[in-house]
Amino acid sequence: MNKLKEEDVYKIFKPELTPKRMLELGVFGGSYFGNNIKEYPKNWFTNAKLSKNFDVGLNRFKIRAGLSREHWIEKGWIFKEDPLGWFQWYCRYTMGRRLPNVDVTQIKRWKNFRRHVTAIKKNCEKGNLDCRKRQRQAILQWAYNPYI
C-alpha cells in the first residue's frame, strides 16, 4: 500500500456511501459539524440526523463507535486542512477539493479501514444487523455500507 502512486490511490477510492446518505443514516451522534454546515450543499442536510451535542440515539445503530477527537489529535490523524477529521475531508473531497498529499493519506486510511468490513462478513450472518453493531456503525462513518 505504501508503494501506491498518487494516481493509483485516486483510482482505488470508491466509497459506498455519499456524505448526504451517511448523514441521513445517522453518524457521529449527529454532532460532527456542530452548527457549522454553511460550506456544504443544503440538500445534504434535508433529512440528516443532526444535533448540537452528541446523541447516540441519532446514530444508525444506536451505539457509540470510534475514538475521541482528542485521541485522533494525539495520534496525528487530524490535519490542519480538515480540523474535524476524516469525514470533513471526505465531504470536501466529494465537493471537488483535491489536496494530493492529504488525499493520499486519507484514502489509504479509508482503504485500511476495510478490515472491519471483512470482520463483519467473516463473523456475522448476512443481513444480521444486530451482529457487530459497533463495527457496523464504524464502517458507516467511513463510507462503507453497513448493511452487509
For the segment 123-141, the average pLDDT, to the nearest whole number, is 97
The pLDDT confidence band at residue 13, using thresholds 50, 70 and 90, is very high
In a domain, 146, yes or no: no
Task: Calculate ∠ Cα 146-111-72, nearest 5°.
Answer: 85
- Does 11 reside within a domain? yes
pTM score above 0.85:
yes
31 inside domain: yes
- Residue 76: its pLDDT value, please? 86
pLDDT tens for 47-94 read 999 999 999 999 999 999 988 888 888 988 899 999 999 999 999 999
Q: How many domains does the chain have?
A: 1
DSSP 82: B
Q: Decide if 131 is inside a domain.
A: yes
54 touches 31 (CB < 8 A): yes
Give domain status of residue 55, yes or no.
yes
Task: Evaluate whether residue 147 is within a structural domain.
Answer: no
Give pLDDT, residue 3.
65
Position 1 scores a pLDDT of 44
